[in-house]
Chain A
Amino acid sequence: MRNILQEIKNAVRSRSIHVSYVDVGSCNGCDIEVLACLAPRYDIEQYGIYVHNNPREADVLLVIGSVTPQWVDKLRDIWDKIPEPKVAVAIGNCPISGCVYARRGTLTSPPVEKYIPIAASVPGCPPRPTEILSAILSVAPLIFKDYEERKP
């Protein structure tokens, strides 16, 4: 009985991934690529991924941009607001290395891993919508499948 319930939960969760994205100081190029995922060409919703922009409803947090000082504490707040199970995906080069902002005289402090745990990262400046899509689709089952079973 418990297994059937878990199977149903797994099936439903794999078809309903709620995404919230946060831009912690990027050039907006990656935001446009995330928006392109919503457009009919890529259509993120046919895979059961819904973009909500409300951290309290989200399962997946897309972190975009190298971290500016104003975002250091707020990013942590947003991450704490997301209910378990949750996962953060870094989109683009900026959260990984800072990309073009990783030079002297800029007020950024990449990588974003210093502030919140990142499960997956999508390199690229900007990454392609297909890469973002496949990253979300491949990382979500790893986190959400049998979540209750794995919890001690």
Chain B
Amino acid sequence: MRSIIYYVREFLRPEWIRKFFTAKTAPLETPSYFKGYPTLTGNKCTACFSCMMICPAPGGIAVLRKKDGWEPEVYPGHCIRCGLCVEACPEGVLSSGRILDVTAHDGTAFWSWYHLEVDDNICMRCGNCCVSCPVNRQIDPQLAGSGTSSSDEVIMRIEGGRVQILHEEKCTGCKTCETNCPNSAIRVARMVEGVQIPEAET
């Protein structure tokens, strides 16, 4: 009998009744270190498009021209919140969670270059790529229609009947050669590598 009274008294406690009828967990808050949608930090965007090029989700981020300069915009229906754009941005325009703190602490960055590759099986040695390349034309204005050049400084030239890539590092990734290639034999690929700069060098 005493135990029944004990239980009735226990269940009539206002605190117990309130706990029973309302949600038991406190309203869940998102911790500050969670990666949310990237937000603008106020730094000036230089329109290098690193964020757009590294974004794995189609249409996740776009760098738009605003009245005073450029500004990246993130689209929530497309963005997957991976935070790669935040890491790739050299100016620190975007921020998300504690990515900027971690990259600054660890000295990590993305290093990117353009890799040129010619498929010799389908290349017909027309030399269109060498002639159309704007960097090539700047280095060697004498670059002829056959794509041969006496200069060693050009990105690529026809040498011995096939395209030789001499200076890959000068490529700006404009892909003019790709669009002018009749056989899609030349491919421009943007290579990205994560690098860590040791503290001694910084």
Contacts and interface: CB of A to CB of B under 8 A. Distances in A.
Interface residues of B, number: 18
Contact of A103 (B23, B34, B58): B58
Secondary structure dominating the interface of B: loop
A78 interface: no
Contact of B78 (A43, A93, A130, A133): A93
Contacts of B78: 93, 96-97, 99, 102
Nearest to B77: A96
A123 B57 CA distance: 13
Contacts of B28: 42, 130, 133
A46 interface: yes
Given A130-B28, A133-B28, A124 B58 contact: no
Nearest to A100: B57
Contacts of A93: 57, 77-80
A47 interface: yes
Nearest to B56: A100
Given A100-B56, A102-B58, A121 B77 contact: yes
Given A46-B25, A93-B79, A100-B58, 20 more contacts: A42-B25, A46-B23, A93-B77, A93-B78, A96-B78, A97-B58, A97-B78, A99-B58, A99-B78, A100-B56, A100-B57, A100-B80, A102-B58, A103-B58, A123-B77, A124-B81, A125-B57, A128-B30, A130-B28, A130-B30
5 contacts: A93-B77, A93-B80, A97-B59, A97-B75, A100-B80
